[in-house]
Amino acid sequence: METQAIVELFPLFSVANPETLEWILSVVDEEHYAHHEEIIKENDWGKGVYFITSGWVKVRSRYNHQEVVLEILGKGDFFGEMEVLDESLKYIDVIALSDVELLSISAQRFLQMLFKDTQVQHKMLQLSVRRFRQLYRRFQLHQQTPKIKLIKTLIKLAETYGKLTEEGAEIFNIPEQDLADIADISLSDCQQIIGQLQHQGCLESDPSRQVLFLNNLKQLNHFAKQI
């Protein structure tokens, strides 16, 4: 990957100086995972940081024989940094939702990068604060109706990872149970609401390509405020 490509894809590196960028590209490893393949096992946290160059992953909790999806991440995002900076998570793993390509950097070299370039260090702090703000916003949705929760979850995925096409904002066709988990609603509510949104012309799926189209983000935002 060229330096310009990594800067455009990952906001963390947008402030890095040229020497840091060249060094990063010399120490990262390219990794490839197939659909359903385990990327990080629960005991592997803290060994490195992973940057998604293509595909979709889910962060999953497995405890007391129960599985819950905590987060869905896509191209341009990264994970594993908090476990390098703090103690490792327990009972959490990361699974490929689609074919996935990553750039990985070891924990030691990630810390070297932060010490090497104070601008990257500051950007890392900004991105961490943004993630906590997103978690707070999800917490604020706890008392909302299932429909608002699901619509806002879809909008967030589209605005963060979506690709604009003639059909609308295109995202991966996330399994309904995983979508229900991150929206904090039941599977039956998720299925019913998706059916309603498709009937209303707000959503359209293409199973052959495993994609979901949000046909009008502005309309969905307006719709969520009216419910």
Mean pLDDT by 10 residues, the chain (227 residues): 88 92 94 96 89 96 86 95 81 94 96 93 91 82 88 93 88 96 96 93 89 85 67
User: What's the pLDDT at 134?
Assistant: 83
User: What's the pLDDT at 226?
Assistant: 55
Residues 50 and 109 in one domain: yes
Residue that terminates a domain, selected from 139, 173, 196? 139
Radius of gyration of the chain (CA): 18
Residues 124 and 171 in one domain: no
127 lies in which domain range?
3-139
What CATH number did the domain enclosing 18 receive? 2.60.120.10
User: What's the pLDDT at 120?
Assistant: 94
Residues 126 and 151 in one domain: no
Domains: count for the chain: 2
pTM (predicted TM-score):
0.90
Angle, in degrees to the nearest 10, between helices 118-140 and 107-116: 110
Count other C-beta atoms under 10 Å from residue 150's C-beta.
Answer: 26
